[in-house]
A = this chain, B = another copy of it.
Amino acid sequence: MKTFQHELVEIDERRLLRRLDELAQRGTLPSGGLYRPLYSPAWSAATELVHGWMKDGGLLTRRDAVGNVWGRVEGSRGGRAIVTGSHIDTVRGGGALDGALGVVAGIEAVADLLERYGRPTRILECVAICEEEGSRFSTNFWGARAIADRVEVDEAQRVRDTEGTTLADAMRSVGLDPTKIAQAVRRDIDAFVELHIEQGPVLDAALERLGVVTVIAGTAHLDVVVRGEPDHAGAAAMDRRHDALLGAAAMMLAIAKIAGEMGAPAVATVGTIAVEPSQLNVVPGVARFSVDARHSDNRQRTELVAEIEKACKLVGRERDLSVDVHALRDRPAVPMNDRTTETLRRAARAAGVEARDMTSGAGHDSQILTAAANVGMLFVPSIGGRSHRADEATAAEDVVLGTRVLATALRELAYTA
């Protein structure tokens, strides 16, 4: 048994890479990149494709009440299930690996284990989670929340896409019944393991090939409104102006400085900005921008947000501008399960690799599933740290390595004596 646990599991590398290519044909945009929004035709085509692969692997398949696709092998001793997977949807203009890697690698790992080691002692499952990105509806983590019993009452009736279609109507359009969402809840999962691309530059820059996530950063979203005085761009002297956009500019630089000085993993981003009246020859009277601030430590995230708010107010006072900072959202950091993470570390060592302990700045299905399972998360490098872009990429050998380590961890979890 000792020897067995130290072997790196073999997989069908060619099939893995071919399937990733094939999945990347579902939802291609004319302008480049992929778009597989929840319950769209491209999404349906992708879920049917992975459904077929699960069947080919000899797994018992089913589509749950929200459209998550599951493949299952019954364990000889029953008990709680060991699950792997990731999300099948993409952002608009996204790449071939975000979500897709964890889905395809999960199917590959489970099918290969079944083929090479026979029936597991524990129930072993792979899953293609229907939605994580929030790229169609004004909600996200839909699939994982359905599994973890975190969907809100009437959420499907309330939430709409930009064309006004409700989630409920979109469900019906693909043959799902929104009154049955609760049937997707799973209370019988022991461990959930997710393989994902890092989406950041850390592993690639350090020339390291594997990371284990110890914590997924908490995220605060702020809405900042700066009010000055609109003025004539020609007639208003520079020293008499109350330019809301100049105030916002000073705030944005201060925000980046605060995050930079706090040091990694603190990050703060101004991703959107708008001014009023937004005319070439009028000094902006109002500037409004968003702040996304993250940290893996809850106390430090709170401090980061407080510092940002303080800096905005200070700039406002200096420039005689009114400043309103409104918190849109504040999600705490989510630690991964120590035991599952240690299993991933051991599996990496079977490949001769010491996995780097990492914070995930990005959100993942895993953070939601901590409510339902002992979760561990494995990262492979993103070349150049590129993410949510058509050219996101991971070296083929790292895709293969990550999948083999995933399979090795699943073997430890599902083939216990």
- A interface, CB within 8 angstroms of B: 198-202, 205, 217, 219, 221, 230-240, 243, 245-246, 248-250, 252-253, 256, 259-260, 264-273, 275, 278-284, 290, 292, 294, 360-363, 382, 385-389
Contact = CB atoms under 8 A, between A and B. Distances in A.
Contacts of A256: 238, 243, 246
A275 B221 CA distance: 18
Contacts of A294: 233-234
B275 A361 contact: no
Contacts of A264: 237-238
Most central of A199, A200, A269 by chain B CB within 10 Å:
A269
A219 to B, nearest CB: 7
A361 B235 contact: yes
Given A231-B387, A253-B246, A256-B243, A267 B199 contact: no
Given A272-B280, A283-B271, A199 B235 contact: yes
21 contacts: A198-B235, A200-B234, A202-B237, A230-B388, A231-B386, A232-B388, A233-B269, A234-B360, A235-B382, A235-B387, A237-B361, A238-B260, A238-B266, A239-B260, A240-B385, A246-B256, A249-B252, A250-B253, A269-B281, A273-B273, A273-B275
A382 B236 CA distance: 11
Nearest to A222: B280
Given A240-B201, A253-B249, A363 B279 contact: no
Contacts of A248: 249
Given A232-B200, A360-B234, A271 B284 contact: yes
A252 B260 contact: no
Contact of A271 (B269, B271, B279): B279
A412 B213 CA distance: 86
B387 A232 contact: yes
